[in-house]
Amino acid sequence: MAYDDQNIFAKIIAGELPCHKVYEDDHSFAFLDIMPRTAGHTLVLPRTAAENILDIDAESLAHLMATVRKLAPKIVKAMDADGFILQQFNGAAAGQTVFHLHVHILPRKEGGRLKHHGSEDNMADEKDLEAVAARIRAEIDA
Ligand code: AMP
C-alpha cells in the first residue's frame, strides 16, 4: 500500500486538523491519543511520510526512537505512573488503523486499568485531554 498523504496524522502534522500536542522538533511530533487506553496515552510520529516501520529509513527511525526515549520518562512523571508500555502496529492485520507510522506510549500505574486498543468507548473529553497535555508539556519544559 502506498503512503496516503491525506491520512489523519499527516493532516495533524501539517496543522490541518487539531490535536493535543505535547512536543515537536525537526524530526518528530507527539500528541495525545483521543481514545486513550491509559491516562497520558501519547502518540509519537516521525515528520517524514512513512506508513509503517518498514517504510522509514534507519536514520529517521533513530530520530523517532530518540524522541520516544526522551518523552517516555517525562510522560510517566507527569502522570504519576509507575512504568510504561510502547506499542507500534504494522498493517491492518496487526491492528494498525492510521497509516502514518507512530509509536504509542502508554503510562501504567500499579493496578491501573489498560483499556482496549482503538475503542470508541474510550473517547476522551476534550477538556480532560487538554489538562493532561498541559501536565505533560510542563514536565517536558521543566
Ligand atoms: P493504530 O491502531 O496503531 O494505527 O492507532 C491509531 C491510534 O490513533 C488509535 O489509538 C486511535 O485512538 C488514535 N486516533 C485516531 N484518530 C485520532 C486523532 N484524530 N487524534 C488522536 N488520536 C487519534
Sorted by where each begins, the domain ranges of the chain are 8-141
Residue bearing the CA closest to ligand 1, atom 11? 118
Residue 1 pLDDT exceeds 80: no
Three-class SS string for 90-116? Answer: CCHHHCCCCCCCCEEEEEECCCCCCCC
Instruction: Give the pLDDT score at 57.
Output: 97
Binned at pLDDT 50, 70 and 90, residue 114 comes out as: very high
For the four alpha carbons of 69, 103, 121 and 34, in that order, the dihedral sign comes to: positive
Residue 85 near residue 68 (C-beta atoms within 8 A): no
User: How does pLDDT run across 7-16, given as a tens digit for each residue?
Assistant: 999 999 999 9
User: How does pLDDT run across 10-58, given as a tens digit for each residue?
Assistant: 999 999 999 999 999 999 999 999 999 999 999 999 999 999 999 999 9
> Is 102 among the catalytic positions?
yes
Residue type at position 114: L
Cα distance between residue 92 and residue 118, in whole Å: 12
Binned at pLDDT 50, 70 and 90, residue 4 comes out as: very high
Instruction: Give the pLDDT score at 118.
Output: 83
User: How does pLDDT run across 65-93, given as a tens digit for each residue?
Assistant: 999 999 999 999 999 999 999 999 999 99
Cα distance between residue 116 and residue 37, in whole Å: 6
**8-141 CATH fold:** HIT family, subunit A (3.30.428)
Instruction: Report which ligand 1 atom has the smallest distance to the Cα of 19.
Output: 20
Q: What angle do CA 14, 19, 23 make, to 5 degrees?
A: 80
Instruction: Give the pLDDT score at 119.
Output: 85
Distance 43 CA to ligand 1 centre (A): 8
Instruction: Give the pLDDT score at 116.
Output: 93
Residue bearing the CA closest to ligand 1, atom 22? 33
